[in-house]
Amino acid sequence: MIQAVRVDGHFGEYLQGRLGPDGPVVLVTLPCPLTGVIGTHHPARHGLKLAGAGLSVPQVQRFIASLRGRLTGHVRLRARMAAGLGTGVSTARLVALARLSGWDGPPEVLARACIAVEGASDPLMFAAPERLLWASRQGRALRTMPALPRHEVIGGHWGAPQRTDARDDAFPDISDLVADWAQADSLASFAALGRESARRCIRLRGPSGDPTEALAQDMGALGWVMAHTGAMRGLIFAPGQVPAQARATLRAAGLRGIVQFKGGTE
């Protein structure tokens, strides 16, 4: 019997940076149902064939063995967006492989296995990844964060793809933003904190000429978000408040692969 799984990715991060000048790299992810990886598995008794995984058979076998599992047959993975844009493809593919092997254990164990392969991980193995302050190089949650009010995000990718380097910790200190996020109680507050995180990242890391700040101001967005390593850029609006001309405006500014989706749970 053919098995199929879908692992949702993300759309950059609401927050990402160092927890203190010398602290770990942490993030609050922005889940997106329009990104991620779709996987199919045609079981067989012996052998493993891969398509679209971006990993070798020995790499996958070692990863599955670290979970005390077994995966044989023909596996095909399809990323819903290209790697390097900031949508969590590298983590999503590992989560998909684990689930196709029958893994149903604690997400914390799966996170550690992903870290062993990649050196960094998004919290896509958790049911509500946006509720975690995630130490992405350690593969662990440092605290639970508040649920966000319902909102809408519209955006796309701008600039060149950029794959995450697990050794890269050149991010701004966002310990104050994390503390404020934990106490925020309105969509406007959350959106403003996301905007400040993105601003700090752009000031420190670039790239120059990013149009997102000006787009957010011109279109009346509450805030904006980005893939802090990647090309995704998005504007945050209250539900039903995305301007009718938003897609055309973003395209004219150079964004591509425009998507619109809902976030928040309250």
Whether the CB-CB separation of 129 and 31 falls below 8 Å is answered with: yes
Q: Are residues 59 and 112 in the same domain?
A: yes
Q: What is the pTM of this model?
A: 0.96
Domain stops at, among 128, 143, 158? 143
pLDDT tens column, 36-93: 999 999 999 999 999 998 999 999 999 999 999 999 999 999 999 999 999 999 999 9
* Paired strand residues for 3: 41
Q: Are residues 85 and 211 in the same domain?
A: no
Q: For residues 158 and 257, what is the distance between their CA atoms, to the nearest angstrom?
A: 9
Bond preceding residue 146 cis, omega within 30 of 0 = no
pLDDT at 266 over 80: no
In this structure, what are the phi and psi dihedrals at residue 71, rounded to the nearest 5 degrees?
-140, 115
Element (H, E) at 123: none
Domain stops at, among 91, 126, 143? 143
Q: Are residues 114 and 179 in the same domain?
A: no
Residue 182's domain comprises 145-263
Sign of CA dihedral 179, 198, 9, 245: positive
pLDDT tens column, 6-39: 999 999 999 999 999 999 999 999 999 999 999 9
pLDDT tens column, 206-215: 999 999 999 9
Residue 206 sits in a domain whose CATH number is 3.30.70.890
Domain stops at, among 143, 175, 204? 143
